[in-house]
Amino acid sequence: MLEIKNLHARIAEDGTEIIRGLNLTVKAGEVAAIMGPNGSGKSTLSYILSGREDYEVTEGEILYNGENILELDPAERAAKGIFLAFQYPVEIPGVATMQFLKVAMNEQRKARGEAELTTPDFMRRVKEAAAELKINPDMLKRPLNVGFSGGEKKRAEILQMALLEPKLCVLDETDSGLDIDALKIVADGVNALKSPDRATIVITHYQRLLDYIVPDTVHVLYKGQIIRTGDKSLALELEANGYADIIGEAA
């Protein structure tokens, strides 16, 4: 589903290179965890996948279902089924959450040549998905993410993911700022979306989230490269010994 080949990317503004020859393959149905110390390029990778314009790809390619997506803008990528759950979702005053959800769902449907949702159909979907994630309906009456707690923001991200039904889900540090109960709810939400034609990339710092969202593969990212790939036991090894050994081996 996703093939990243020899990717090099830098911050557009100052030219700092963050991703330095990254290779990664994720198959449909797979849950891939990307772990790594601070500053290794984890969040940058997620932004580049989503098409954020603050980064410039200087070399390599990203193939999504065989198609090079580097020329597509974030909206086009989203319509093709790429979804990034943000580490820090932005607050947008004045944009009503429900209106945002409806426009996003319908714009994606339009881009794919599907009919727009009727209002009752839309309402029903939101209601069901929100109930699954134990989201208080009052929260959805507020402007987008405004005044949401850290946990509420993360749940709202997963709600969007559930409603938009993406094919490639990228979760950037979705566990940060969540207590254990919220973490379980969010993990259940992610697991509920698991299917043979959907892939998930879980970016995280800690093993903790991976107890709930069990990965098929674990990749260690360091200085903009994948320096080690393994199965879920690799995450446990990192938890026990830290990154120092693996970094030492790679150096």
Partner 1 sequence: MNMQTTSRQTAAEAALIDAFNQHVGDLPGNGAVISARDRLVDDLKTNGLPTRRVEAWHYTDLKTLLRALPAMQPAGLVAAPAPLVETASVIVMQDGHADGKASVEGVVVGTFDAMLREGTAAPGLSVIDGDDTIGKINGSFVRDGYVLEFPEGVEIEQPIEIQALHGAGQIHTRFPVSFGAASKATVIERHVATTDGQAFVSSVSDISLEDGADVTWIVLQEQGSSDTHLGQVRIRVGADAKLRLFVINAGGKLVRQELRVDVAGEGADLQLRGVNLLGGDTHTDVTLVLGHNVPNTTSTEIFRNVVFDRARGVFQGMIKVALDAQKTDARMACNTLLMSDDAEFAAKPELEIFADDVQCGHGATVADIDDNHLYYLMARGIPRSKARAMLVNAFVAEIVEELDDEALVEALETVISGWLERHA
By the criterion CB under 8 A, which residues form the site for partner 1?
A: 50-54, 73-75, 77-79, 84, 86, 89-90, 92-95, 100, 103-104, 107-108, 111, 143, 160, 164
Tokens of 141: 């009456």
Sign of the alpha-carbon dihedral angle for 33, 37, 41, 47: positive
DSSP 57-97: EEEEEEEETTEE-TTS-HHHHHHTTEEEE-SSPPPEEEEEH
Q: From the CB of 90, what's the least distance to partner 1, in Å?
A: 5
**By C-beta, is 144 or 213 nearer to partner 1?**
144
- Alpha carbon dihedral 31, 35, 38, 42, in 10-degree steps, equals -40
Q: Smaller CB distance to partner 1: residue 82 or 234? A: 82
Choose between 107 and 239: whose C-beta lies nearer to partner 1: 107
In whole angstroms, the minimum distance from the beta carbon of 5 to partner 1 comes to 23
Residue 166 or residue 215: which is nearer to partner 1 going by CB?
166
CA distance 250 to 200: 26
At 232, the amino acid letter reads K
| Residue closer to partner 1, measured from CB, 203 or 238 | 203
* Least separation in angstroms between CB 99 and partner 1: 8
**Order of all β-strands in the sheet with 82-85:** 82-85, 168-172, 199-204, 31-35, 217-222, 225-230
CB of 139 to partner 1, least distance (A): 17
Place of tokens 């029903």: 124
Decide whether 103 or 181 has the Cβ nearer to partner 1: 103
Name the minimum Å distance from CB 170 to partner 1: 10
Encode burial over 35-47: b for 16+ CB neighbours within 10 A, e otherwise.
bbbeebbbbbbbb
Mapped onto helix, strand or coil, the DSSP state of residue 178 is coil
- Residue 222 has φ and ψ, to the nearest 5°, of -150, 130
The nearest distance, CB 134 to partner 1, in angstroms, is 22
Q: Which is nearer to partner 1, 143 or 177 (CB)?
A: 143
Q: How far is the CB of 94 from partner 1 (least distance, A)?
A: 3
